[in-house]
A and B are shown apart, each in its own frame.
Chain A
Amino acid sequence: MASMQKRLQRELKSIQTEPPPGVSINQNSVGSSLTQWIVDMEGASGTLYEGEKFQLQFKFSSKYPFDSPEVTFIGPNIPIHPHVYSNGHICLSILTEDWSPALSVQSVCLSIVSMLSSCTEKKRPPDNSLYVKTCSKNPKKTKWWYHDEKV
């Protein structure tokens, strides 16, 4: 097994046995090569997204964890959030330039949960319609200009 698969195997085991609150791995989405996962996510109670269900798709390259995973929201419900485009792309620095191999599926999920939880107003990013028309399929190809930290 490649080292990427060994590490993902480990992560898969840990996320299965101790999933972070509101996050669960969609067992059927994970193939034997482990290159693509789907994670089910619930909006935390007491936040604007309470009761909503989302799906996150992770795609891993063979260089993972030295290369960040490609993470997008998919499915019918894309959260309305100033850092989430209507095509599911997420503007989050740890997914590109601030990625570190010490991060994991679990920590990325936690960052996204906390990004959603700290939101005070449900709205799309201001450049949503232009971005969605022009962007690449792969959010990692986007040169993000990170939105103001204060959402």
Chain B
Amino acid sequence: MKVNIKSWRGVAVWKWIAKDDNCGICRNAFDGCCTDCKMPGDECPLVWGQCSHCFHIHCIMKWLNSPQVVQLCPICRQDWKFKE
């Protein structure tokens, strides 16, 4: 008796690689989406700063676009620069 694999159909879900479970701004899970979106995933992506903190792109953009003098990471207060 012998068993060989002819084909395999693997199933996986993708997740964001983030240190925390939740976005520091909207407090929603990274597996979920920001408060303005309906479906998590490609429509509501995460972005990383050079400080390595990450947020929903919609959340950080709202913060960076709000009237303020300097653009800082909401968590570590370093200058916010998008990670390449």
Q: Which residues of A contact B (CB under 8 A)?
A: 3, 6-7, 10-11, 63, 65-67, 98, 100-104
Q: Which residues of B contact A (CB under 8 A)?
A: 24-28, 34-36, 59, 62-63, 66, 72, 74-75, 77
Majority DSSP secondary structure for residues of A touching B: loop
Majority DSSP secondary structure for residues of B touching A: loop
Q: Judging by beta carbons under 8 Å apart, are A101 and B35 in contact? A: no
- In whole angstroms, how far apart are the Cα atoms of A6 and B74 in the complex? 19
Q: Which residue on A lies nearest to B66, using beta carbons?
A: A66
Q: Kindly list chain A residues whose C-beta atoms are within 8 Å of the C-beta of B62.
A: 66
* Contact (A7, B35) CB under 8 Å given A66-B62, A101-B25: yes
- In whole angstroms, how far apart are the Cα atoms of A10 and B34 in the complex? 13
- In whole angstroms, how far apart are the Cα atoms of A98 and B72 in the complex? 10
Q: Tell me how far the C-beta of B68 lies from the nearest C-beta in chain A, rounded to whole angstroms.
A: 8
Q: Judging by beta carbons under 8 Å apart, are B24 and A102 in contact? A: yes
